[in-house]
């Protein structure tokens, strides 16, 4: 399955909502701006390699699947 910006954005939003985080609080935790999280969720951009690592670490610490991981 090929990941698209839209697919990734949907998964990030699902993750954030499942954890009851705002875009601002998720951004602060990951060390990025609110606008960056907003752009990911809206499918305008994909995270940098550094941000992807931060997301993966964030998920690993919480023992949940990263939105960077293909489903299915």
In a domain, 37, yes or no: yes
Domain range holding 23? 5-61
Residue 71 lies in a domain: no
**Is the per-residue pLDDT at 5 higher than 70?**
no
In a domain, 68, yes or no: no
Contact (Cβ atoms closer than 8 angstroms) between residue 60 and residue 66 = yes
Q: What is the pLDDT of residues 12-58, one digit of tens each?
A: 999 999 999 999 999 999 999 999 999 999 999 999 999 999 999 99
- For residue 51, is it within any domain? yes
Q: How far apart are the first and last CA of the chain?
A: 9
Asked whether residue 67 is assigned to any structural domain, the reply reads: no
Number of independent structural domains in the chain: 1
- Is it the case that residue 1 has pLDDT exceeding 50? no
User: What CATH number does residue 45 fall under?
Assistant: 1.10.260.40
39 inside domain: yes
Cβ neighbours around 68 below 10 Å, total: 17
């Amino acid at each position: 399955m090929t990941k698209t910006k839209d697919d990734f954005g949907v998964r990030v939003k699902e993750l954030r909502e499942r954890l009851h985080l705002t875009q601002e609080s998720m951004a602060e935790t990951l060390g990025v701006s609110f606008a960056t999280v907003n752009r990911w969720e809206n499918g305008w951009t994909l995270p940098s390699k550094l941000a992807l690592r931060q997301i993966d670490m964030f998920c690993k610490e919480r023992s949940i699947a990263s939105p960077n991981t293909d489903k299915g």
